[in-house]
């Protein structure tokens, strides 16, 4: 990266202490604002019951804290960067603040704008909304709660605890003992589950003993639990009529009744799952807590991680650049050659260079991760090939282009903190966008390989990213110094150093990201989908033996023309239908 004089958008004079005091106060205001804002629902107007719950109720304490730190850290960083840019630079970026505003009061003014207390500056409020939604996603809100509800729905149910005295309870009215042995996806089985869970939760609340459940959540949603119980009572005559109709017509069904039962069951699964997750300790499985309710979950192990993937990746970049820069400075002091004017001359120079080098890598990793998550959420990232999903090569090209643009814009903003914008400053940063392009493409490539379990050889992972990143660094350095000095030959030592630094960064990222991604990739919904498929495979193996593999991948009209494997992966309802088909007559199963 070029060596430029450090010149912030605000003057560093005797009044600097007041500016940084104002900045600290503004960061504190943002912290208070973020605490309140992060607790708000990220989706409103949805009829899905899960979006009626607050973020704090949909995540464990650890998940919530992790997401909040991402949100607050992002907002605080935006505030600090905009404050350091200064009013003149912000105006050139299209962000206009009140006239005659002193640079001492700018951090507070920006904080109030981000908080919505002052008239909105176009773009800033959109940034806040996107940051909050992204942080909620990183806290698995509401994915973790939804995945827990699906685990409960797909789990086997032990009716043994409800077969005695409990059957004489008013909440169990309408159940017949034979309902406990009916196959999955039948109205009788779902009705029995609903009655049992209503009875269990009512007993817990009446006795005042919540045990493994979060008492405050049950209190907050007492009206919803009462409504579910009321709807259950209103369905009792319909269940009686359904049983009578089945006696005269074995093929009779009532889809409206089944949907009503399933809808109330899902609400109970969500409330029960959230109440248990909020009460359990970190890294504890909720299996034991749900067993008293009859829910027989299969134990699952969440992958153990060593930290946030992006945070460690970016830290690796910064450390690599600083250490190599310090080593180069020390080497230059030995006098082995006549160093150029742009080679690091002081101990502080590697730190300034590290900040500039860090910018395109940070922008690439953050933007690439965001683009990939958005595309996966909309079902546009993977393409289906047979029974498997594969990544599309076009995705990597799109990510590279988007990351290149993001990296270039980030470098321009960083340059504004050092010197006023010029035509050359806009041209200088163009070659460095190559680094953001290659880093973003390799980042999503490593994540896709780790998720699919199809990583290439370790030598290829390390060699490809190291060489390509180093080459891009060489191209960027030559072009940059050609623009600045008029000839790249006047900065050969700095070009070599820049090439080595970028190659080292590529090696460090290739060393860490693929292995960490394989260990850290955790998506509650994906994990639950895989767990349902494994449960179906086990049941099919027990019922069909050697023919299980063929049956799992065979399309079936009862499952709307999809295979049992794909039906189970799609959701808890598809899993129940596949299990019901498996438990049915052998002729239908085949």
Predicted confidence band of residue 534 (pLDDT cuts 50, 70, 90): confident
Least confident residue range of 204-218, 331-345, 479-493, 525-539:
331-345
pLDDT for the residue numbered 400? 93
Dist. CA 70–CA 134, nearest whole Å? 9
What percentage of the chain exceeds 90 in pLDDT?
Answer: 15
pLDDT for the residue numbered 390? 67
Dist. CA 308–CA 306, nearest whole Å? 7
Q: Are residues 213 and 133 in the same domain?
A: no
Predicted confidence band of residue 103 (pLDDT cuts 50, 70, 90): low
Does the pLDDT at position 85 exceed 80? no
Tell me the per-residue pLDDT of 436-447, one tens digit each, with 9 for 90 and over. Answer: 999 999 998 988
Where is the domain boundary, 120, 141, 162? 141
17 vs 438, residue with greater confidence? 438
pLDDT for the residue numbered 305? 40
359 bridge partner residues: none
- Domain hosting residue 378, numbered range: 304-520
Dist. CA 91–CA 82, nearest whole Å? 11
Full-model pTM: 0.65
Per the prediction, the chain carries an average pLDDT of 80
Highest mean pLDDT of the ranges 216-225, 316-325, 556-565: 216-225
187 vs 47, residue with greater confidence? 187
pLDDT for the residue numbered 306? 35
Number of domains in the chain: 4
Residue with tokens 């990583």: 455
Query: DSSP label at 308?
Result: -
Radius of gyration of the chain (CA): 30
Over residues 447-462, mean pLDDT: 83
Q: Are residues 308 and 296 in the same domain?
A: no
Dist. CA 386–CA 330, nearest whole Å? 57
CB count within 10 Å of CB 473 equals 28
Dist. CA 514–CA 560, nearest whole Å? 38
Q: List CB contacts of 498: < 8 A, sequence separation 6 or more.
A: 1, 473, 474, 476, 477
Query: Could you tell me if 474 and 499 are in contact, meaning their C-beta atoms sit under 8 angstroms apart?
Result: yes
pLDDT for the residue numbered 439? 92
Dist. CA 128–CA 114, nearest whole Å? 7
Exposure on the CB side of residue 379, measured as CA atoms within 13 A: 2
Where is the domain boundary, 141, 172, 203? 141
Dist. CA 313–CA 513, nearest whole Å? 7
Does the pLDDT at position 420 exceed 80? no
Q: Are residues 483 and 337 in the same domain?
A: yes
Predicted confidence band of residue 311 (pLDDT cuts 50, 70, 90): low
Q: Are residues 81 and 158 in the same domain?
A: no
Closest to 153 measured CA to CA, from 278, 285, 272: 272
pLDDT for the residue numbered 25? 92
Q: Are residues 425 and 280 in the same domain?
A: no
pLDDT for the residue numbered 588? 47
Nearest-10 Cα torsion for 186, 192, 197, 203:
170
Q: Are residues 218 and 78 in the same domain?
A: no
| DSSP sequence for 214-267 | -HHHHHHTHHHHHHHHHHHHHHHHHHHHHHHHHHH-TT---HHHHHHHHHHHHH
Does the pLDDT at position 263 exceed 90? yes
Q: Are residues 30 and 62 in the same domain?
A: yes
Over residues 341-370, mean pLDDT: 77
Dist. CA 22–CA 546, nearest whole Å? 72
Q: Are residues 123 and 177 in the same domain?
A: no
Check the CA dihedral 14-20-21-22 and report its sign: positive
What percentage of the chain exceeds 70 in pLDDT?
Answer: 82
Tell me the per-residue pLDDT of 400-417, one tens digit each, with 9 for 90 and over. Answer: 999 999 999 988 887 776
Phi and psi at residue 391, to the nearest 5° = -75, 145
Q: Are residues 428 and 462 in the same domain?
A: yes
Highest mean pLDDT of the ranges 62-71, 125-134, 260-269: 260-269
Does the pLDDT at position 4 exceed 50? no
Where is the domain boundary, 94, 114, 141? 141
Q: Are residues 423 and 408 in the same domain?
A: yes
Least confident residue range of 34-43, 184-193, 271-280, 481-490:
481-490
Q: Are residues 394 and 286 in the same domain?
A: no
Check the CA dihedral 457-549-387-298 and report its sign: negative
Q: Are residues 500 and 529 in the same domain?
A: no
């Amino acid at each position: 990266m070029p060596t430029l004089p450090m010149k912030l958008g605000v003057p560093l004079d005797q009044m600097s202490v007041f500016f940084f005091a104002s900045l600290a106060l503004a960061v504190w205001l943002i912290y208070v604002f973020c605490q309140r804002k992060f607790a708000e629902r990220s989706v409103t107007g949805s009829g899905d019951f899960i979006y009626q719950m607050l973020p704090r109720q949909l995540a464990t304490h650890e998940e919530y804290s992790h997401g909040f730190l991402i949100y607050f850290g992002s907002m605080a960083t935006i505030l600090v960067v905009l404050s350091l840019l200064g009013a003149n630079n912000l105006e050139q970026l299209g962000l206009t603040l009140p006239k005659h505003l002193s640079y001492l009061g700018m951090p507070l003014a920006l904080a109030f704008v981000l908080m919505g207390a002052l008239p909105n500056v176009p773009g800033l409020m959109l940034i806040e909304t996107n940051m909050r939604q992204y942080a909620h996603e990183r806290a698995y809100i509401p994915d973790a709660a939804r995945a827990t509800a699906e685990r409960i729905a797909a789990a086997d149910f032990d009716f043994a605890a409800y077969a005695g005295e409990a059957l004489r309870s008013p909440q169990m009215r309408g159940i017949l003992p034979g309902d406990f042995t009916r196959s999955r996806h039948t109205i009788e089985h779902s009705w029995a589950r609903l009655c049992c869970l209503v009875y269990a939760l009512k007993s817990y609340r009446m006795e005042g003993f919540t045990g493994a459940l979060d008492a405050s959540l049950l209190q907050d949603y007492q009206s919803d639990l009462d409504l579910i119980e009321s709807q259950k009572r209103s369905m009792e005559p319909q269940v009686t009529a359904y049983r009578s109709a089945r006696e005269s017509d074995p093929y009779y069904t009532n889809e409206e009744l089944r949907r009503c039962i399933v809808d109330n069951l899902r609400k109970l699964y969500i409330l029960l799952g959230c109440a248990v997750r909020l009460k359990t300790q970190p890294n504890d499985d909720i299996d034991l807590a749900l067993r008293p309710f009859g829910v027989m979950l299969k134990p699952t192990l969440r992958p153990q991680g060593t930290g946030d993937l992006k945070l460690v990746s970016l830290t690796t970049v910064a450390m690599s650049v600083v250490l190599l820069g310090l080593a180069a400075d020390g080497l230059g002091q030995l006098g082995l050659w006549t160093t150029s004017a742009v080679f690091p001359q002081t101990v502080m120079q590697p730190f300034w260079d590290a900040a500039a080098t860090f910018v395109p890598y940070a922008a690439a990793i953050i933007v690439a991760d965001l683009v990939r998550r958005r595309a996966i959420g909309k079902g546009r990232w993977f393409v289906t090939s047979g029974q498997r999903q594969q990544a599309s090569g076009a995705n990597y090209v799109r990510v590279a282009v988007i990351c290149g643009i993001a990296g270039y814009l980030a470098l321009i903003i960083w340059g504004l903190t050092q010197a006023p914008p010029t035509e050359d400053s806009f041209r200088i940063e163009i070659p460095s966008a190559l680094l953001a392009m290659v880093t973003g493409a390799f980042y999503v490539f490593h994540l896709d390989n780790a998720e699919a379990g199809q990583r290439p050889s370790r030598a290829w992972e390390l060699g490809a990213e190291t060489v390509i990143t180093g080459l891009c660094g060489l191209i960027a350095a030559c072009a940059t110094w050609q623009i600045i000095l008029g000839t790249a030959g006047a900065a050969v030592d700095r070009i070599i150093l820049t090439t080595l630094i970028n190659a080292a960064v590529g090696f460090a990222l290739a060393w860490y990201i693929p292995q960490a991604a394989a260990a850290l990739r955790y998506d509650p919904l994906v994990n639950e989908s895989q767990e349902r498929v494994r449960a179906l495979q086990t049941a099919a193996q027990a019922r069909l033996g050697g023919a299980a593999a063929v049956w799992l991948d065979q399309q079936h009209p009862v499952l709307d023309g999809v295979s049992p494997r794909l039906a189970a992966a799609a959701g808890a309802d598809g899993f129940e239908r596949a299990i019901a088909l498996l438990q049915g007559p052998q002729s239908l199963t085949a």
